[in-house]
């Protein structure tokens, strides 16, 4: 009888191991000013996990997405990273703000966990990483060049100003735009810092008006950009605003109203136009949710991780990382690969224009 029970326990434990879940930590801003992007990421991640599990999971194992709120705050991001590690989670997909992703990534690397960001674009993230850090989106030293070259091409002879919020993301991309236009023979008339979270940017706007600024690049997030756009119009300043991928949310228009008409920004080619994304688009719309940029990029991140685990044959972070680099992966944002640093080799940046409450690719 004892032998029988021992054998049964052995098989039970083996079966339980075979059916073990693969947990994915999903850190992002679920509260605070940038929660709209955390929602995009959460929706995309949840749908990817649901679709993969419905198709049988990964060799019989199911994926589980476990969200954590970093509020786009570096200290909270570090606390969340430590908490996920303490819970034994070996795979993380998330962090929106580069200022959160960079310090958290150091913990993941130290503890041997694999991390993929769908959204954090500061080059420092992967430049200082080793083996286990990946990025499905692009880098600001590429994005900022696209912004700067667009300014040089489309606004020759105009007075250019650059404003930035001193964040890792905002200042990082603003510096690249400055370097790009300076290399093209154009010197900005102002390079200004502003404080995120304020409601009144009249002092900044007064400086812009006094300098006769005609084109303003903003390195910062959608909340402040929307307020600056609205207050520029209220003060009668007709200045063309250009921003970056932090503006990819309909919430920008809710803040700025028609003051955002004609506003320009960079982002990857619109995932909503890709054949690979149509099923996801339909699935999320069925729930009453209109998916935006980072819903697709987070879905793609889960796809890349799942393919890496399949190739590796086991949920071992180092083996999965090597497998992810071994060959391109088909995703909802197209086929993507990863270079030695973990940067994506696929998507490029294009210019979008806001019109009548919506954004679309502007073309050349």
CATH number at residue 81: 3.40.50.2300
Find the range with the poorest average confidence among 49-58, 192-201, 340-349. Answer: 340-349
Within-domain flag for 152: yes
Report yes or no on 114 lying in a domain: yes
Same domain, 149 and 86: no
**Mean pLDDT for the stretch of residues 224-229:** 98
**pTM, to two decimals:** 0.90
Report, as an integer, the average pLDDT of 45-53.
97
- Answer yes or no: is 361 within a domain: no
In the listed set 267, 299, 328, which residue is the last one of a domain according to the structure?
267
In-domain check, residue 310: yes
8-22, 237-251, 252-266: range with lowest mean pLDDT: 8-22
DSSP notation for 128-168: T--SSEEESS--HHHHHHHHHHHHHHH-TT--EEEEE-SSH
From residue 195, alpha-carbon distances to 35, 77, 121, 122, 225 in Å are 19, 21, 21, 19, 12
Mean pLDDT of all residues belonging to the chain: 93
Distance CA 225, CA 266 (A): 14
Measure the CA angle with vertex 294, ends 290 and 300; round to 5°: 110
Region 75-82: mean pLDDT is 98
pLDDT digits (tens, 9 = 90+) for 328-354: 999 999 999 999 999 999 668 999 999
* Average pLDDT for 49-53: 97
The domain containing residue 199 runs over which residues?
A: 141-267
Instruction: Tell me: do 54 and 202 sit in the same domain.
Output: no
**Co-location of 313 and 221 in the same domain:** no
* 8 vs 298, higher pLDDT: 298
Residues 134 and 150 in one domain: no
Cα of first residue to Cα of last residue in the chain, in angstroms, is 78
Provide the number of structural domains found in the chain.
Answer: 2
State the pLDDT at residue 347: 63
Task: State how far the alpha carbon of 301 is from the alpha carbons of 81, 94, 136, 180, 338, in Å.
Answer: 18, 9, 6, 30, 12
Q: 306 and 197 in one domain?
A: no
User: Do 115 and 27 share a structural domain?
Assistant: yes
pLDDT tier at 13, thresholds 50, 70, 90: very low
257 and 165, same domain (yes or no)? yes
| Structural domain contains residue 191 | yes
Q: Is residue 354 part of a domain?
A: no
232 shares its domain with 319: no
Same domain for 168 and 130, yes or no, is no
> Residue 149: pLDDT above 60?
yes
Q: Are 10 and 76 in contact (CB under 8 A)?
A: no
User: Quick one: average pLDDT of 151-157?
Assistant: 98
Q: Where among 267, 300, 326 does a domain terminate?
A: 267
pLDDT for 73 beyond 70: yes
Q: For residues 223 and 151, state if they share a domain.
A: yes
Distance of alpha carbon 146 from its chain centroid, rounded? 17
- Shared-domain flag, residues 260 and 151: yes
Domain boundary among 240, 267, 294: 267
Instruction: Using DSSP, state whether 331 is helix, strand or coil.
Output: strand
Same domain, 251 and 240: yes
Indicate whether 67 belongs to any domain. yes
Say if 345 falls within a structural domain: no
């Amino acid at each position: 009888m004892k032998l029988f029970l021992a054998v049964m326990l052995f098989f039970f434990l083996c079966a339980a191991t075979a059916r073990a879940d693969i947990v994915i930590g999903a850190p992002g801003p679920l509260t605070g000013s940038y929660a709209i992007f955390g929602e995009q990421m959460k929706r995309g991640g949840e749908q990817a996990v649901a679709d993969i599990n419905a198709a049988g999971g990964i060799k019989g194992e199911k994926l589980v997405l476990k969200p954590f709120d970093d509020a786009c705050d570096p200290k909270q991001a570090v606390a969340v990273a430590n908490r996920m590690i303490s819970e034994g989670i070996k795979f993380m997909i998330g962090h929106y703000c580069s200022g959160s992703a960079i310090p958290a990534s150091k913990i993941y690397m130290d503890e041997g966990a694999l991390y993929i960001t769908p959204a954090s674009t500061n080059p420092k993230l992967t430049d200082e990483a080793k083996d286990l850090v990946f990025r499905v989106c692009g880098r600001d030293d590429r994005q900022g060049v696209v912004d700067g070259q667009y300014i040089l091409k489309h606004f020759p002879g105009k007075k250019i100003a650059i404003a930035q919020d001193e964040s890792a993301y905002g200042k990082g991309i603003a510096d690249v735009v400055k370097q790009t236009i300076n290399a093209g023979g154009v010197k900005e008339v102002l390079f200004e810092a502003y404080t995120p979270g304020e409601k009144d940017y009249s002092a900044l706007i007064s400086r812009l008006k006094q300098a006769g600024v005609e084109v303003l690049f903003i390195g910062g997030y959608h909340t402040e950009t929307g307020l600056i756009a609205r207050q520029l119009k209220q003060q009668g300043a007709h200045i063309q605003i250009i921003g970056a991928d932090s503006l990819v949310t309909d919430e920008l228009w809710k803040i700025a109203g028609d003051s955002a008409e004609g506003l320009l920004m960079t982002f990857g080619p619109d995932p909503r136009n890709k054949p690979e994304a149509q099923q996801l688009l339909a699935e999320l719309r069925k729930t009453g949710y209109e998916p935006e940029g980072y819903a697709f990029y987070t879905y793609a991140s889960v796809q890349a991780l799942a393919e890496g685990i399949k190739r590796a044959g086991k949920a071992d972070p180092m083996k999965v990382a090597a497998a992810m680099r071994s060959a391109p992966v088909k995703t909802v944002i197209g086929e993507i690969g990863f270079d030695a640093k973990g940067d994506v080799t696929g998507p490029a940046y294009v210019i979008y224009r806001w019109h009548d409450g919506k954004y679309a690719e502007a073309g050349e």
